[in-house]
Amino acid sequence: MGIVTNIIKKEQFNPGIIGIFTNPFFFSRRGLYKAMAMAGKELYGKLLDVGCGTKPYEPYLTVKEYIGIEIDTERSRKTSKADYFYNGKTFPFNNEEFDSVLANEVFEHVFNPSEFLKEINRVLKNGGVFLLTVPFVWDEHEQPHDYARYTSFGLIHILQEHGFEIIRSLKSVQDVRVIFQLWNEYLYKKTYVEHPVLRQILNTVIISPFTILGLLLFWLFPKNEDLYLDNVMVARKVNNV
């Protein structure tokens, strides 16, 4: 049973061939994994993962110390692997305590982005690295706590305003697979059932054919840098705010 659980967990955030047939978010998760594998090399030292969830990318990051934090809710205490919980405003850490900060698919759920980035800046050492991933094209999720979408230009601007310089700006899945991922998300929500086995059967029978079609058409159609799933920003702290 442990082997099956590990395979399912791996295919959720680092999907391979099995994920084509089991993961309705195959394109999004595969794109994010590839971006994290590339941009995550910039992270080092003592890392703070803000909104860490189950820490899905921890096995792929070579940092000295990995600390996860979540907003203090009943759900996060039950389902996350957070080492610390906080009130949604102030992190329980000293100034300039971390070498790196990661916020993976969290920023769209932040109602006060300026306060959030000031807190990131506070706990990050001068010269420290901040890795931020944010959806650009995606449906509303985790309602009602889904507040914003950001273009690459918007993210660059707001990060620079809060004491960061951009090291690298990446766009994940910038091609026809965007359309198929949105279609699969639509099908997933419209066919969702509580029973996990039946839900997986529906994913395999109804959704995976479109995943396969998207993979085939990906090789035929050109990229479109203006239409993509996720922004991936690597920034360095250069000023206190």
pLDDT tens sequence across 122-180: 999 999 999 999 999 999 999 999 999 999 999 999 999 999 999 999 999 999 999 99
The C-alpha atoms of residue 15 and residue 173 are separated, in whole angstroms, by 14
- Residue 10 confidence (pLDDT): 80
Closest CA to 237 of 164, 162, 157, 158: 164
- Residue 9 confidence (pLDDT): 72
- Residue 2 confidence (pLDDT): 59
The C-alpha atoms of residue 193 and residue 199 are separated, in whole angstroms, by 6
Count the domains in the chain: 1
- Residue 4 confidence (pLDDT): 60
> Which residue ranges of the chain lie beneath pLDDT 50?
1
- Residue 241 confidence (pLDDT): 86
- Residue 5 confidence (pLDDT): 60
Could you give the angle at which helices 26-39 and 2-13 cross, rounded to 10 degrees? Answer: 80
- Residue 188 confidence (pLDDT): 97
- Residue 116 confidence (pLDDT): 97
Note down the domain range covering 22.
Answer: 2-237
Give me the CATH number covering residue 70: 3.40.50.150
Give this prediction's pTM.
0.93
Contact 128, 98 (CB under 8 A): yes
